[in-house]
Structure 1
Amino acid sequence: MSMKTLLSNKLKWVAIAVIGLGYLAFDSLVIVNEGQQAVISQFGSPVKVVNTAGLMFKLPTPVQSVTHIDSRAQVLSLQHNEYGTADRSNLVIENFLVWEIADPIRYLTSVGNKDVASTRLAALANAEVGIAISSVNLPTLFGMTEEDKTVKVLFEQITEQLDAKSRRELGIKVTTLRAKRLGFPIQSLAAIYNRMESEWQHLEKKYLAEGEEEAAGIRAETNRLVSKIEAEAYREGQVIRGESEAQAAAIYAKAYEENEEYFTFSRYMEAYEKVLKDNATLILPTDLPLFKQLFDAPEVKK
């Protein structure tokens, strides 16, 4: 074998080694993008989860392999289903749920991909909704009292139960399960409307009774205040009247003491005003003391 042949074979093996090493180096690199998680499996069994974006290394295939999964929230719309309530009413509900992968290893070992996960989640969700709906009466879903288990409260409870079960069985976290659309048969609508009407009437009577009670209290308090104010005003008026009459009596007494004749004259004038009014005709002797002021000349003091 010539030197040229040996050199050619050597270069060939070097090239093969470089290519092999390059392939192994490339195969050992793992790129994790934002919104992704990477699961490293060793001989087919998941052993490690990478949930931060960036570059990492693994052992070459077939020793270790990598599976990328989407870690973002997913929305799953469910087909409408008809459910029976505790009072044997039919209710048609179309639901949707929001989910994301909570345990990547359990997710891969139990479902493996998004299509299977959607099918399993839909089955679990429909089962949980059916169990919950069958435990309540239809009118209470649209009730207005604290005791009623309304649609909102019921689906919050269903979400918690579904989340716990899906985490345990599928490695999936359910953040939201809500009713997107509800349909009712005519008889169910009639029951709802009757219940709502009776509840509104009950509230109306309650509010009217509370208003009447409040108004009666206000009227009673107002009457009490009015009576109190009137009593105080009457008392003060009587005090003022008494003081005024006392002052008037004192003034009259003082005036009488200072000018007895004028006081007598004024009293006579007042008597004339009362007796000789409205064209009254009296036949009386003129020597009565009452007419002294009319027929006798006033005395002039010297």
Structure 2
Amino acid sequence: MENASESQSTQAAPLWTKVVRIGLGISIFLLLVAYPCYVQVSEGTSVVVTRFGKPTRQLMEPGAYFKLPWPVEDARIVDLRQHVFNTPYTATLTHDRRNVVLSTFVVWNVANPLLFLQSAGSVEAISAKIDGMVTAAKNTRMGGYDLSALVSTDSAQLQTERIEQQLLQDVQQDALDKFGIQIRQIGINRIAYESSNVAAVLAQMKAEREAAAKQLRALGEKDANAIRDDAVVRSEEILRDGRLEAGRIRANAEQRVSEIYAQAHLQDPEFYRYWRSLETLKRSLGSDSTIILRTNEGFMDLLTTPPPVPQTAAPSSPQTASEGRTVLLPFGSSPSNGEMQP
């Protein structure tokens, strides 16, 4: 009995192994047949399906798709991300006959994958076409601008952004219609000059800076003149007010002096004449003056004939009487003594 069971299990084992092998083989075959029919569209890419080389459809949305196996149908992947292409240096002529060398950059992406494959087929091929389009646009547009539109110390004369927008408008629609690409931006990387134009560029920059300096000097001179004029007007006002105030003070002083002179003259006319003569004598003869006059003429008689003593004067001492006379000067309530010797 044991031998019979062992023989049955031995026969069953090879049968199971065969079934597994057959199933595995069928699975591998189906996988090999189905794999060429599977298409995976990733984010940022597109797939163009061709049948016997003729485009039939384009897959734009990410996901899994199926197609007929090769060689019936084929799938070509197109990158939809943005690309940056730097054009080589190209010489162009400006409106003022200046030769300038420009280098530009172009930002683009594929908008129509099917048209892109039919017209160019690769990034390298489309770069050459973009270079030709941008170069033609630069030659056309730069002919309408002077060199100062690219290089100038005056920001109002610079037209770089406007030139870039015009270049974009010139090539954007044609690139989309002919090659299926969308040009997003065109910008100027660098501006170079030939050796013959360097002196002209420097001379232009120097002239612009000199013009700006002259304008600043003119504004400064204008402000300085305005400040000077205001200062002159203000000084004249101050001087005028000072003259008016000095005139009032002088008038008041002269009035007060006249009142004092009048009061002194009324109190003692003879002594007033005597004191005024002394003042005139003092003003006439300085400290270093030498004059020879007769003592009996002019105001020199004051030295020999002084005025008489007023009746209100106090009696003098014997010593004072022997030496000369003492004269009281009645100025209000505070008299002052004056002594004169013949």
Q: How does the TM-score come out when normalised to structure 1?
A: 0.70
User: Which residue of 1 is the match for residue 185 of structure 2?
Assistant: 175
User: Which residue of 2 is the match for residue 291 of structure 1?
Assistant: 302
- Cα shift at 1:194: 4.3
1:26–1:263 Cα change, 3 Å:
farther
2:144 is the alignment partner of 1:135: yes
**Following superposition of structure 1 onto structure 2, how do residues 151-300 of structure 1 map, counting pairs within 5 Å?**
153-170=162-179, 171-186=181-196, 188-254=197-263, 263=272, 266-274=275-283, 278-285=289-296, 291=302, 294-295=305-306, 298-299=309-310
1:275–1:100 Cα change, 3 Å:
closer
1:141–1:272 Cα change, 3 Å:
closer
1:146–1:274 Cα change, 3 Å:
closer
Across the aligned residues of Structure 1 and Structure 2, the Cα RMSD in angstroms comes to 4.4
User: Which residue of 2 is the match for residue 116 of structure 1?
Assistant: 125
1:282–1:151 Cα change, 3 Å:
same
- Cα shift at 1:46: 4.3
User: Which residue of 2 is the match for residue 20 of structure 1?
Assistant: 30
User: Which residue of 1 is the match for residue 109 of structure 2?
Assistant: 101
1:272–1:115 Cα change, 3 Å:
closer
1:296–1:99 Cα change, 3 Å:
closer
User: Which digits, 9 at most, give the CA deviation of each residue in 1:93-142, with x for residues without a partner?
Assistant: 3x241423152535445433211221221111211112122333446543
Q: Is the 8 A contact 1:78 1:96 kept in 2?
A: yes
SS in 1 for 2:291: coil
Q: Is the 8 A contact 1:91 1:185 kept in 2?
A: no
Structure 2 unaligned blocks of 5 or more: 1-11, 315-342
SS in 2 for 1:173: strand
1:296–1:12 Cα change, 3 Å:
closer
- Cα shift at 1:15: 4.6
Letter in 1 for 2:101: V
Letter in 1 for 2:249: I
Q: Is the 8 A contact 2:277 2:299 kept in 1?
A: no
Structure 1 unaligned blocks of 5 or more: none
CA–CA distance in 1 between the matches of 2:215 and 2:130? 46
User: Which residue of 1 is the match for residue 135 of structure 2?
Assistant: 126
2:46 is the alignment partner of 1:39: yes
CA–CA distance in 2 between the matches of 1:111 and 1:199? 47
CA–CA distance in 2 between the matches of 1:273 and 1:89? 91
Identity score, percent: 15
SS in 2 for 1:135: coil
- Number of residue pairs matched by the alignment: 291
User: Which residue of 1 is the match for residue 64 of structure 2?
Assistant: 57
SS in 1 for 2:145: coil
- Cα shift at 1:162: 3.6
Higher relative contact order (CA 8 A, sep 6+): 1
Q: Is the 8 A contact 2:164 2:187 kept in 1?
A: yes
Letter in 2 for 1:100: W
CA–CA distance in 2 between the matches of 1:190 and 1:286? 96
Between structure 1 and structure 2, the one with the greater Rg is 2
Q: Is the 8 A contact 2:84 2:107 kept in 1?
A: yes
